[in-house]
Amino acid sequence: MTIFSKRIVAYILDFIILSAFMWIVSYFIYGLVGAKNVYGVYQFFPYFVPVLIFVYFVVTEKLAAASMGKAIMGIEVKSKNGANISWLQAIVRNLTKIYWVPIIFDWLIGKFLRTDRLFNNITKTTVVKKHF
């Protein structure tokens, strides 16, 4: 399996993990506010979920060099010089993951420029096979 294929599977796994977490959060919110007020709370989810996604990717890639999906697939994020990524690199490279549409353009522009992803190129990061 190529790195690109592993990245796609990792992104899908991350989506499943985040969805499961949000389902659990929703269950507890429903229990706290009751059926009458749940709609009012869920109106904030389109704003809350992208922030959660962004924080998830930034924190996991900075602290562990990989999101849970990447770790399962045996890949990690590194600076092009081989070092662990900085907080700034983690923040900038994950800006397009806030919503799913920008990541498509990030990848397409990257392919047009004959690189991996545009934001990987900007941050001088790459995704590599994890060395155990």
> Rounded to whole angstroms, how far apart are CA atoms 11 and 77?
13
Where in the chain are the domains?
A: 3-129
Greatest CA separation for the chain? 54
Tracing tokens 């592993």 back to the chain, one arrives at 6
> What is the model's pTM?
0.85
Q: How confident is the prediction along the chain (132 residues), in pLDDT tens digits per residue?
A: 888 889 889 999 999 999 999 888 888 877 777 777 777 777 877 888 889 999 999 999 999 999 999 999 999 999 999 999 999 999 999 998 887 778 788 888 877 877 778 888 889 999 999 876
Q: Which pair of structure tokens corresponds to residue 78?
A: 């590194």
